Amino acid sequence: MFHVKQGKLKIAPSILSADFTRLGEQVQEAEAAGADYIHYDVMDGHFVPNISMGPYIAEAVKRSTSLPLDVHLMIEDPDRYIPDFVSAGADIITVHYEAVVHLHRTVMRIRDLGAKAGVAINPSTPPFMLDEILPFVNLILVMSVNPGFGGQHFIPTSLQKLKRLRMMIDDRRYDIELEVDGGIDPNTAEPVAASGARVLVAGSAIFGQGSIEENIRAIRESAERGLARQAF
């Protein structure tokens, strides 16, 4: 038994699931509803089997909100585009462990350009692969689905991965945000927060149907119940 380090719980709506005919409006609704970040997924059709948005839309989104822009690069050769996303207003840029050959160099480049640096891992990548990069990052993102599409079901083994990473971060007293993305809704928010996640990315559960405000509230209330659970 051990205790989870407490920290501010953050909700990061993923605009991949937003209505793009009302994108600016929906981003503003999410901000008014208490969102903490705006999560921005970039996909290239190579690293993941889908294509999404580039830096120009990121720049437009940034003009629509005062919230930090949390950019997740699910692409090959992310170094090529990092300066463009920093220029577009990205506050956090996350690259994939599986997509980068010289990860330390990439992370330091993000930080040198003035953004916070994150590293994401896919469901099949074990946490210990991040051991050497942890001292240099601001955020770790655990993918709890295979990346590429919204609306997928949460992979339950992600909970054990979150617990291990929470221990790695807390034992070494690193100031790193632990983020989770994939299948997050009012049912899964509680166990992922109890397992150590502090930033919850949700797309279809926020933008899919109903009120954005009510959906964010339901996810936050569920996650706060999980945060209150100390032992696991």
Write out the binding residues for substrate.
Answer: 14, 72, 148-151, 181-183, 203-204
Give dist(CA 129, CA 134) in Å, integer.
10
Going across the sheet that includes 69-74, the strands are: 10-13, 199-202, 177-181, 139-143, 116-121, 92-96, 69-74, 38-43
Residue 181 known to be catalytic: yes
Residue 112 known to be catalytic: no
Residue position matching structure tokens 């690259």: 95
Provide the CA 56 distance to its chain's centre, in angstroms. Answer: 20
**Terminal Cα distance for the chain, rounded:** 6
Q: Give CA separation, 22 vs 19, 51, 175, 207, in Å.
A: 5, 20, 36, 11
Binding site, annotated residues for a divalent metal cation: 39, 41, 72, 181
Catalytic residue among 36, 44, 70, 181: 181
Kindly give, in sequence order, each residue whose CB lies less than 8 Å from that of residue 31, ignoring residues fewer than 6 positions away. 38, 65, 66, 67
Binding site, annotated residues: 14, 39, 41, 72, 148-151, 181-183, 203-204
Catalytic residue among 36, 41, 44, 70: 41
Annotated active-site positions, please?
Answer: 41, 181
